[in-house]
Chain A
Amino acid sequence: MDIFIQSLIGGITVGAIYGLIAIGFNLIFSTTRVLNFAQGEYLAAGALVGYTMSEVWNWSFGFVIFGVIAVMAVVGVVSERLIMIPVRRVGGLAWILTTLGASIVMRNGLVVLYGREPYRFPALSDGDIRFGEVVIRHQQIWIIVAAVVLLILNELFARRTFFGKAIRATAHSYDTAALMGIPVGLTISISFALSAIVTGLAGLLIAPIVFADANMGLLFGLKGFVAVIVGGMGSARGAFVGGMIVGILDTFVRSVLSDVIPSGYGNLAVFALLAAMLLFRPTGIMGQAITDRH
């Protein structure tokens, strides 16, 4: 029972992170129909930049948050240029090559800057709460709280602000958006910037639980991607729920069911869920049907 609850807590924690990454995927996908292979790299960038600010420059946590937001906004806009210019020129499958290229460049840029060694990142507050054998680290609570706050902020942004509405209009149709006087290009840039910020902050949050390193984005990106498919494209709440499902499923298969199935089948279960979702409910739990844009 302890292990069950412990795994549940672990699952919810990483699930919240997957959920944030999924929101990031969603933002970019909705405006561009591009699945950004570089999404996980935003996470690694957020974590490592945060490390530099907090450990090397000794900034206080509040400044670190703003610093990471500023850096990630720039990273998002720059990567948008790299990814979208060729896509606009040739279309088709160009996005696969450009997002892949961006991901390789970003990942290895981080390797050049930080090397490949892991960094230990201090928790927002050390310590833990215990219920019998079960340990809940403060950082885990912070992650869940912060993820929910980010989700709410994201919803508010989407519904209450001009660019939030612009993103939704652009998601629907470029032409309609343009007719409504929405600067489509700028909106796309903003969606990339926001996506990078949300994912970068997720990196900042998870870094104290796992060691931060330049290659950490790969697996997180992949699972966040599963989360967005499971939750449904086009819905931030869906993405969040998808993240939870992926996180809990993964952790459960690994640690709760490890007597029944080998622990390695965690990834397998996640990807099988992805395949099953695509086959039986391609719109995801809360998403809308996605049409190809012409």
Chain B
Amino acid sequence: MTYNRKSLPTLLLIFVMLFTLTASSTIVGAQDEEPIKVGLVSPFTGAIGFLGVWMGNSVQAEINRINENGGLLGRQVELITRDDEINPARSVEIVREFIDREEVSLIIGPSFSSNALAVRDLIESSGTIAIFPTAGTVELLENNPRYLYRAQESTALTAAELVNFAIENGYASIAILSPDDAFGQDYDALLEELTEDADIEYLGAEFFRDDDQDLTPYALRIKDTGAEVVIVPTGNSSIAARAVVALDSVESEAQILGISGLQGYTFAQLAEDAVLGSIFVATYLGYPAEVAFEDMPARYAEHVQLVIDEYGAVEGASLNTYPGTSLAGLAVWLWEQAVIEAGTLDADAVADALDAMSYTADETPAGVAVSFTPENHEPFGEGSLYFYEWYLKDDGESYGFREVVMGEDE
């Protein structure tokens, strides 16, 4: 029994530690005087860390506008941001903190479908409003959740639009080169379905892993299928860049189509010349596509201006853009309208208000028409999205993208 005697100091120390931790945690402040909290969870570091930063900018710019106009329901709004490093386990931890500790009224994020799926039930069961501006998987809104909304185009929508695009432009066959994640799986299943009765042949998907060092063999396989269109369905710019570089190195002549992974400025920075000619589907991107302010949808222009006023424009070698994400702005703006409509922060009332929403393209920060119903929490309808194509600017050095219209591809 000497053992126990010796362990005594330890026991005491543990006691002290537990006690301090306990004591420090019991200080709970008053609720009503505090600002309304909005939680944003996204990667803020890593290959696409800019995503979180830019989402934060967009949300903060809109919140600043709210606060300068006297706040929401007479209270100030405060943004809390957390970095989940694209790790779903971290997302869960953070969302728990948002709900239980910070008691936020709105959760924006997490980015990416795996992360969003991980917290889906946690948020729904807590009765907190969540709007996902960067998670596209269909599964996220399955079974008609009450408090979860999307502020982004879903995979179902983008896949349909991309297939349409390919058909309209006369391509005969289509294949997928994708990391083996939720998006890739979604697309594989969706394309199977979409091409079934269509005038285009689906030649299958080639999945790689994010830890693959050399993507050339996958690119070679894709090339061997003879597909005329290759879809790279990833929201991660760095991975998208590796995929198009690999396709370029095997001299694939297929038309590359993609989604949000192809729109980030790091995409062009990493992939350089390999980006040229690739086309992606997105919501309205007037500013980086160098549309004049007066030609943009009004609310979109206002949002971009808010962000640029606060954070300045980004003039990179690869792409001139603004350091924000209109969809994140859309998320907080939608919530703001719903709270004003409901006159309360009560989640059920806000959800009811959201469910009754319908706005035109000119009215929303996304520059795209938005409407929700109790049965449908997807914001955008078919035909509302835009296509953009990467091109080399006249200076012969910098890259840019410009809108292409379906069926008019050269």
Given the complex, which residues of A lie within 8 Å of B213, measured CB to CB?
10, 14, 206, 209-210
Known: A116-B49, A117-B49, A118-B270. A137 touches B249 (CB 8 A): yes
* Residues 233 to 271 of chain B near chain A (Cβ within 8 Å): 238, 241-242, 249-251, 266, 269-270
Q: Given A118-B270, A211-B242, 9 other A-B contacts at CB below 8 A?
A: A3-B217, A6-B220, A7-B217, A14-B213, A14-B214, A116-B47, A118-B47, A135-B250, A211-B238
* Residues 187 to 229 of chain A near chain B (Cβ within 8 Å): 206, 209-211, 213, 215, 219
Given the complex, which residues of B lie within 8 Å of A251, measured CB to CB?
214, 217
Given the complex, which residues of B lie within 8 Å of A135, measured CB to CB?
216, 220, 249-251
A145-168: CB near B (< 8 Å → 1, else 0) gives 000000000000000000000000
Does B65 interact with chain A (Cβ within 8 Å)?
A: no
Name 7 A/B residue pairs within 8 A (Cβ), A-sorted. Answer: A6-B216, A6-B220, A116-B45, A117-B50, A118-B266, A133-B250, A264-B209
On whether the beta carbons of A117 and B220 are closer than 8 Å, the reply is no
* Residues 86 to 124 of chain A near chain B (Cβ within 8 Å): 111, 115-118, 120
Task: Determine the distance from Cα of A255 to Cα of B216 in the docked complex, in whole angstroms.
Answer: 9
On whether the beta carbons of A2 and B220 are closer than 8 Å, the reply is yes
Given the complex, which residues of A lie within 8 Å of B100, measured CB to CB?
none
On whether the beta carbons of B214 and A118 are closer than 8 Å, the reply is no
CB distance from B259 to the nearest CB of A (A): 20
On whether the beta carbons of B46 and A117 are closer than 8 Å, the reply is yes
List the 8 closest A-B pairs by CB distance, nearest first.
A255-B217, A10-B214, A116-B46, A116-B45, A7-B217, A6-B217, A14-B213, A120-B270
Tell me the nearest residue of chain A to B46, going by C-beta.
A116
On whether the beta carbons of B214 and A209 are closer than 8 Å, the reply is yes
Task: Determine the distance from Cα of A7 to Cα of B242 in the docked complex, in whole angstroms.
Answer: 17
Given the complex, which residues of A lie within 8 Å of B208, measured CB to CB?
254, 263
Residue from B46, B217, B250 with most neighbouring chain A CB atoms (10 Å): B217
Chain B interface, >50% SS class: helix
B: interface residue count bin: 20 to 34
On whether the beta carbons of A115 and B49 are closer than 8 Å, the reply is yes
Known: A120-B272, A211-B242. A263 touches B207 (CB 8 A): yes
On whether the beta carbons of A117 and B250 are closer than 8 Å, the reply is no
* Residues 165 to 223 of chain B near chain A (Cβ within 8 Å): 180, 207-209, 211-214, 216-218, 220-221, 223
Does B224 interact with chain A (Cβ within 8 Å)?
A: yes
The chain A residues found within 8 Å of chain B, CB to CB, are 2-3, 6-7, 10, 13-14, 111, 115-118, 120, 128, 133, 135, 137, 206, 209-211, 213, 215, 219, 251, 254-256, 263-264, 266-267
Known: A120-B272, A135-B216, A137-B249. A3 touches B238 (CB 8 A): no
B86-107: CB near A (< 8 Å → 1, else 0) gives 0000000000000000000000
CB distance from B252 to the nearest CB of A (A): 11
Task: Determine the distance from Cα of A14 to Cα of B216 in the docked complex, in whole angstroms.
Answer: 13
* Residues 48 to 69 of chain B near chain A (Cβ within 8 Å): 48-50
On whether the beta carbons of B220 and A254 are closer than 8 Å, the reply is no
Given the complex, which residues of A lie within 8 Å of B266, measured CB to CB?
117-118
On whether the beta carbons of B209 and A263 are closer than 8 Å, the reply is yes
Tell me the nearest residue of chain B to A218, going by C-beta.
B211
On whether the beta carbons of B218 and A120 are closer than 8 Å, the reply is no
Q: Among B49, B212, B223, B270, point to the contact of A211 (Cβ < 8 A).
A: B270
On whether the beta carbons of B238 and A118 are closer than 8 Å, the reply is yes
Tell me the nearest residue of chain A to B210, going by C-beta.
A219
